[in-house]
Chain A
Amino acid sequence: MSQTITIDPVTRLEGHGKITLHLDDKGQVADAQFHVTQVRGFERFSEGRPFYEMPALMARICGICPVSHLIASAKACEAIMSVRIPHTAAQLRRMLNLAQMVQSHALSFFYLSSPDLLLGMESDPKTRNLFGVVAARPELGRAGVSLRRFGQHIIELLGDKRIHPGWIVPGGVTEPLSSAKRDEILAMIPKAYDDIKLALSWYKQVADTFKQEAAVYANFPSMFLGLINEDESVEFTDGALRMIDADGTIVEDGITASRFPEVIGEAVEPYSYTKFAYYKPAGYPEGSYRVGPLARLNIAKTMGTPLADKELIEFKQLSSGPVQSSFYYHYARLVDILYGIEKIEHILTDDKILDKHVRAMAGVNRLEGTGQAEAPRGTLHHHYKVDDDGKIVWANLVIATGQNNDAMNKGVLQAARHYVKNGKFSEGVLNRIEAVIRTFDPCLSCSTHAFGQMPLAVTLLSVDGEVVDRIIR
Chain B
Amino acid sequence: MNNHRARCLILSCGNTLREDDGVGPWLSLWAESRFAGHDGVVILARHQWTPDLAADLAEAETAVFIDCSIDAAPGEVRLESVEAAASDEALGTHHMGAAELLALAKDLYSSLPRRSLMLTIGAGSMELGEQFSPTVQAALPEACRRLAEAVEGLLASA
Closest chain B residue to A153 by CB distance?
A: B1
- B145 at interface, CB cutoff 8 A: no
A129 to B108, CA, bound (A): 14
Given the known interface contacts A111-B51, A135-B87, the answer about A454 and B109 at a Cβ–Cβ threshold of 8 Å is no
B1 touching A453 by the CB < 8 A rule?
no
Q: Which of B33-41, B91-99, B123-131 contacts A (4 or more CB under 8 A)?
A: B91-99
A364 to B27, CA, bound (A): 42
B108 touching A134 by the CB < 8 A rule?
yes
- B149 at interface, CB cutoff 8 A: no
In whole Å, how far is B79's beta carbon from the nearest beta carbon of chain A?
27
- A130 at interface, CB cutoff 8 A: yes
Q: Which of A140-148, A330-338, A402-410 contacts B (4 or more CB under 8 A)?
A: A140-148
B91 touching A129 by the CB < 8 A rule?
yes
Closest chain A residue to B96 by CB distance?
A: A452
In whole Å, how far is B84's beta carbon from the nearest beta carbon of chain A?
12
Question: Restricting to B66-95, which residues have a CB under 8 Å from any CB of A?
Answer: 87, 90-95
In whole Å, how far is B22's beta carbon from the nearest beta carbon of chain A?
15
| Extra contacts besides A63-B47, A135-B107, A452-B95 (4): CB < 8 Å | A131-B107, A135-B87, A138-B107, A452-B96
A130 to B108, CA, bound (A): 11
Question: Restricting to A148-162, which residues have a CB under 8 Å from any CB of B?
Answer: 148-149, 152-153
Interface centre among B54, B55, B93, by most chain A C-beta atoms within 10 angstroms, is B93
Closest chain B residue to A152 by CB distance?
A: B52
In whole Å, how far is A169's beta carbon from the nearest beta carbon of chain B?
22
A453 touching B54 by the CB < 8 A rule?
no
Interface residues of A (CB under 8 A from B): 63, 111, 126-127, 129-131, 134-135, 138, 141-142, 145-146, 148-149, 152-153, 163, 188, 450-454
A450 to B48, CA, bound (A): 9
B47 touching A131 by the CB < 8 A rule?
no
Question: Restricting to B42-76, which residues have a CB under 8 Å from any CB of A?
Answer: 47, 51-52, 54-55
- B118 at interface, CB cutoff 8 A: no
Given the known interface contacts A131-B107, A138-B108, the answer about A148 and B87 at a Cβ–Cβ threshold of 8 Å is no
A142 touching B108 by the CB < 8 A rule?
yes
A454 to B47, CA, bound (A): 18
A145 touching B51 by the CB < 8 A rule?
yes
B93 touching A145 by the CB < 8 A rule?
no
Contacts of A450 in B (CB 8 A): 94
A454 to B92, CA, bound (A): 8
A148 to B90, CA, bound (A): 24
Which of A141, A153, A188, A453 is the one whose CB lies under 8 Å from B108? A141
Contacts of A134 in B (CB 8 A): 104, 107-108
- B103 at interface, CB cutoff 8 A: yes
A149 touching B104 by the CB < 8 A rule?
no
A149 touching B55 by the CB < 8 A rule?
yes
B103 touching A145 by the CB < 8 A rule?
no
Closest chain A residue to B87 by CB distance?
A: A135
Supply 13 A–B pairs (Cβ within 8 Å), ascending by A. A127-B90, A130-B93, A131-B93, A131-B104, A135-B87, A142-B108, A149-B1, A163-B47, A451-B93, A451-B94, A452-B95, A453-B93, A453-B94
Q: Count of A-B contacts with CB under 8 A?
A: 55
B52 touching A452 by the CB < 8 A rule?
no
DSSP class of A's interface residues: helix, strand, loop or mixed?
helix
In whole Å, how far is A458's beta carbon from the nearest beta carbon of chain B?
18
Contacts of B47 in A (CB 8 A): 63, 163
Closest chain B residue to A138 by CB distance?
A: B108
Which of A63, A131, A149, A453 is the one whose CB lies under 8 Å from B52? A149
Contacts of B107 in A (CB 8 A): 131, 134-135, 138, 141
Which of A111, A148, A152 is the one whose CB lies under 8 Å from B93? A111
In whole Å, how far is A149's beta carbon from the nearest beta carbon of chain B?
5
A142 touching B109 by the CB < 8 A rule?
yes
Contacts of B87 in A (CB 8 A): 135
A131 touching B55 by the CB < 8 A rule?
no
A126 to B47, CA, bound (A): 26
Given the known interface contacts A134-B108, A142-B108, A149-B1, the answer about A454 and B51 at a Cβ–Cβ threshold of 8 Å is no
Contacts of A152 in B (CB 8 A): 52
Contacts of A129 in B (CB 8 A): 91-93
In whole Å, how far is A232's beta carbon from the nearest beta carbon of chain B?
35
In whole Å, how far is B130's beta carbon from the nearest beta carbon of chain A?
15
Closest chain A residue to B95 by CB distance?
A: A452
A148 touching B52 by the CB < 8 A rule?
yes
Closest chain B residue to A124 by CB distance?
A: B90
Given the known interface contacts A145-B52, A145-B54, the answer about A131 and B91 at a Cβ–Cβ threshold of 8 Å is yes
A23 to B95, CA, bound (A): 34
9 tightest Cβ-Cβ pairs between the two chains A and B: A452-B94, A452-B93, A453-B92, A131-B91, A153-B1, A126-B90, A134-B107, A130-B93, A452-B92
A134 to B106, CA, bound (A): 10
A146 touching B55 by the CB < 8 A rule?
yes
Contacts of A148 in B (CB 8 A): 51-52
A454 touching B103 by the CB < 8 A rule?
no
In whole Å, how far is A102's beta carbon from the nearest beta carbon of chain B?
12
A41 to B114, CA, bound (A): 47
Contacts of B93 in A (CB 8 A): 111, 129-131, 451-453
A142 to B91, CA, bound (A): 17
In whole Å, how far is A165's beta carbon from the nearest beta carbon of chain B?
14
Indicate with 1 or 0, residue by residue over B112-135, a CB within 8 angstroms of chain A CB atoms.
Answer: 000000000000000000000000
In whole Å, how far is B156's beta carbon from the nearest beta carbon of chain A?
31
In whole Å, how far is B60's beta carbon from the nearest beta carbon of chain A?
15
Contacts of A63 in B (CB 8 A): 47
A127 to B93, CA, bound (A): 11
Contacts of B54 in A (CB 8 A): 145
Closest chain B residue to A157 by CB distance?
A: B1
Which of A130, A138, A453 is the one whose CB lies under 8 Å from B51? A130
A63 to B48, CA, bound (A): 11
